[in-house]
Amino acid sequence: MSGGQLFALLDRAQNGDDEACEQVLLENSGLIWSIVRRYYGCGVETDDLYQLGCIGFIKAVKGFDLTYGTQFSTYAVPKIAGEIRRFLRDNGAIKVGRSIREKGQALAAARERLRHRLGRDPHLSELAEETGLPVVQLCGVRQKVHPKARCILSAGPAEFLGLFRDAAYVCTNSFHGTVFSVQFQKPFFTAVAPAEMAAPESSRTFSLLSRLGLGERIIGKGDTADLTAPIDWAAVGERLGRERKLSLDYLRCALEDRPHTPEEAPVKAEERPLPHLADHTHCTGCTACASGCPKDAITMERDREGFAYPVIDGAACVRCGHCTAVCPVLRERPQSSMPAVFAAWNRNDEIRRDSTSGGVFTLLAEYILESGGVVFGAAFDGSQHLRHTACFRKEELWRLRGAKYVQSDLEGVFREVRRWLDQRPVLFSGTPCQVDGLYRYLGGRPENLTTCDLVCHGVPSPGVWEDMARSLEARRQQPLQAVRFRNKVAGWKDSHFTAVYGDGTVDTAPLFRTEYGRAFGRALFLRPSCYRCPYASMTRVGDLTLGDFWGLRPDELPDQQEKGISLLLVNTPHGSHIFDQLPLAKQPFPPERAIAGNPRLASPIPLPPERTAFFAAYALEPFDQVRREFCRLPPLPVRAAGRLLSPEVKAAIRKKLK
């Protein structure tokens, strides 16, 4: 814009033309932002700083003397900065203590010394070396969320509000964007940072939306959202009206310098916000909240990825808060001591052959059964649905043996465990998050409860597995009768995926040369919480931990490796007592050897980049098409080369490809 055009706009704005005032503000938005950036990190949100800058700019427009012959920007800059500084001073946003003032004085003195010594302004590194003070950079980053997106870095009030008013859908990470989405009743989602998701009690976004009954519109990093979920704007409007009245009453009392004592009818339970359960990126599906609900107001329902999550029935919920109190994700887990580590195996070769690794679980289960107890573990039903079930006899334990690379269904199981604990000893075996969920539901570990957690790679989607099972049946034209994910027909270290069909035919192949095994190994369809699992460490929740003792050298237990060797961690005094009663073969190892062969004892599995694409296709396309696209095996020559090449050559090729 030329100087003449600018002066013409300023003249119109000074004479009361609101459109001219708005236009000159839009034309100089970059100037305002350049001043605002000086005050990043002062304790005031960026949007608020920009609004203050706009106020100072408008004051500059009104006060500028067109006849003075100077540039408008020269006059506007101190007005903009002055308005921001005035706010910071008057509202106490910046409290400068004595030590900070002394550091500022020392910095100024050092700058002058260096200026005279060097004959120029000193660099930051030179100032840091001279004063011993660190260099801290505070900056605002604005980047496009999509290469083809229209990028608006600044907008005047009318344009800003118009973007929300005319939007068909709003996706925002701004509190103000959330507010205007509600005001204009636009379908929306608000994305919040991990830190805000971890501390919802200190978030104004959580505070606002939970009060309005819109907590489900908040998503965190990695969440998937149902963009078609409707919003009951009538109910939101009622809640918003109530909150507005309370706010106005409070402000009126504050202005009149009298206490705020709102006189309103008690809020009914059904009108209070629903409990805020763990979000989808953290929820493990342990069912503690649903099992512990005194009104049965929580059900576990599968999402589009095939995982079960708790859903609250607002009509039945009495807002007692018990569900959030028993949720293991919402409570900090105490640290435990380092476990004792053993390589262990069952001396019964037949049971050991039928087990995934060393057959230690069977010995543990038999000990509990011989004591008159009950054993809970995961077993498939006739439709290849995996759920926890109770076993009362040794003859039933075969159903619980072996690895099952699917998340098991725990609906009603915790309550059943509690009923049996009143009568008998109980052994519960499951993933660490399932064991922790049981503890939270029970309020601790009863004396007659023994728990065994697993070294967990992550839990695959039950929905994906059941679709894969249907696909196998369709290709064979026979129902699946049984599945072994880890069959030792070719030895422990070359586990096979074996499928038995209704006509007696059997398909078997190395696990990671099957479609399901290959996708499982890539962590393609694990539960979102698995990629940030807090239980992936040596501080275990169960009394005992079982897994495969991978990483043994050829010279270590050479006579036993072909048959399978269990990794056994003894984690608690109760676990140690049980361990001493078991007639198993064992050899101690240092803890670091357990971690070396089982990295999930140190950290969660990384999130694969193709997971999002997989589940996007899974939601929209026929499963066989998804299977062929994402789970197919490499071409035969590639597989052959993989078997022939040495590990060193493979590593060199991977390095070249990178």
Q: What are the tens digits of pLDDT across the range 12-26? A: 888 888 888 888 888
Q: Specify the pLDDT at position 56.
A: 87
The CB-side HSE value for 291 (13 A sphere, CA atoms) comes to: 25
Q: What is the pLDDT of residue 418?
A: 94
Contact 430, 408 (CB under 8 A): yes
Dist. CA 590–CA 567, nearest whole Å: 12
Task: Give the burial class of 545: count Cβ atoms within 10 A of its Cβ; 0-12 exposed, 13-18 middle, 19 or more buried.
Answer: buried
Give the β-pairing of 544-548 and 308-312: unpaired
Using pLDDT thresholds of 50, 70 and 90, give the confidence band for residue 325. Answer: confident
CA-closest candidate to residue 533, choices 453, 427, 449: 453
Q: What is the C-alpha to C-alpha distance for residues 516 and 525, in angstroms, rounded to an integer?
A: 10
pLDDT digits (tens, 9 = 90+) for 166-178: 787 888 888 888 9
Residue with tokens 């009603």: 412
Confidence of residue 508 (pLDDT cuts 50, 70, 90): very high
Q: Which residues pair with 618 in a beta bridge?
A: none
pLDDT tens, position by position, 532-583: 999 999 999 999 999 999 989 999 999 999 999 999 999 999 999 999 999 9
DSSP lists the bridge partners of residue 426 as 374, 449
Which has the closest alpha carbon to 340: 586, 128, 109?
Answer: 586
Mean pLDDT within 360-365: 96
- Phi and psi (nearest 5°) for 313? -85, 105
Tokens of 307: 């995982």
**pLDDT range class, residue 639, cuts 50, 70, 90:** very low
Decide: 563 and 353 in contact? Cβ < 8 Å. Answer: yes
Q: What is the pLDDT of residues 583-618, one digit of tens each?
A: 999 999 999 999 988 999 999 999 999 999 999 999
- Residue 136, pLDDT > 60, answer no
Q: Are 505 and 475 in contact (CB under 8 A)?
A: no
Give me the residue label for tokens 């308005």. Answer: 83
Q: Span 348-364, mean pLDDT? A: 93
DSSP state of 275: P
Cα 267 to Cα 246, 249, 319, 348, distances in angstroms: 13, 17, 12, 65
E-assigned strand segments in 360-438: 374-380, 386-391, 426-430
Q: 318 to each of 12, 270, 293, 322, how far by Cα in Å?
A: 60, 7, 10, 10
How many Å apart are CA 178 and CA 208, to the nearest integer? 9
User: What is the torsional sign of CA 557, 559, 562, 563?
Assistant: negative
| 222, pLDDT greater than 80 | no
Q: What is the CA radius of gyration of the chain?
A: 32
Bigger pLDDT: 469 vs 638:
469
Residue with tokens 């509690």: 418
Higher-confidence position of 353 and 93 = 353
Q: What is the DSSP string of 549-566?
A: -TT--TTSSTTTTTT--E
User: What is the pTM for the complete model shown?
Assistant: 0.60
Q: Is the pLDDT confidence value at 146 over 50?
A: no
What mean pLDDT do residues 213-238 have?
A: 75
Instruction: Please check the confidence at residue 139 and state whether its pLDDT lies above 50.
Output: no
pLDDT over 70 at 402, yes or no: yes
* pLDDT score of 104: 67
Q: Which two tokens stand for residue 550?
A: 């991978």
Higher model confidence: residue 110 or residue 151? Answer: 110
Residue 585's DSSP bridge partners are 345
Residue 483 reports pLDDT greater than 90: yes
Higher pLDDT, 385 or 244: 385
Q: Name residue 548's beta-bridge partners.
A: 566
Q: Which of 21, 98, 108 is nearest to 60 (CA)?
A: 21
Q: Are 175 and 168 in contact (CB under 8 A)?
A: no
What is the pLDDT at residue 199? 60
Are 429 and 575 within 8 A, CB to CB? no
| Coil vs helix vs strand at 171 | strand
Which of 91-100, 133-142, 248-257 is predicted most confidently?
A: 248-257
3-state class (DSSP) for residue 177: helix
Distance CA 303, CA 301 (A): 7
pLDDT tens sequence across 250-305: 777 777 777 766 655 455 555 677 888 998 899 999 999 999 998 999 999 999 99
